[in-house]
Amino acid sequence: MKFPWRATAPGKKAPLLPVGVRRHGIVTGADLVLLVDTGADQTLFHLLWAEQMGFEDTDLVQEECKSASGPMIVYRPKNLRRTELEIGGAWYQLPSLQFGKKVPMSLLGRDMIFAHFDLRMTADDFDLIPHRRRISG
């Protein structure tokens, strides 16, 4: 699945990926755009998405993690089972997910990318080549 880089500002582009989100079979979002970030260990969403996905405060564990801009507080779901992203028309299980309050852009991290895809990237586009295993079409 080849995706062109998208404009982020005049004269600037980035590898942005539109995804759908579902949890326990219920689609909770279809308008999320993630930055494909091979420097991020895990997938990271803004904390506002936790509520939209049906997570309550008691479902999340607060942790400190390292980021490119220094330490940050994140909230990790205790149970991520049946939480999936739709990419290119197919649903894929999220191996991990963190939420943060100061997240300028949600990130698709290495955990998700390499659990399900081989990645080829150029200055103009990126290609996510699915592994044979996937959830559904």
Residue 137 included in any domain: no
DSSP-derived letter for residue 92 is: E
In a domain, 135, yes or no: no
Q: What is the pLDDT of residues 19-76, one digit of tens each?
A: 999 999 999 877 789 999 999 999 999 999 999 999 999 999 999 988 777 788 999 9
Question: What is the number of structural domains in the chain?
Answer: 1
Q: What DSSP state is assigned to residue 58? A: G
Describe the strand order of the beta sheet including 125-130 as a list of residue ranges. 2-4, 125-130, 117-121
Choose among 91, 75, 76, 100: nearest CA to 26.
91
Residue 102, domain CATH:
2.40.70.10
Tell me whether residue 40 is in a domain: yes
Of the candidates 43, 49, 38, 48, which has an alpha carbon nearest to the alpha carbon of residue 14?
Answer: 38
Record the pTM: 0.88
Neighbouring CB atoms inside 10 A of 95's CB total 16
Q: Does 43 fall in a domain?
A: yes
Structural domain includes residue 136: no
Which residue segment(s) compose the domain that 47 sits in? 2-9+17-130
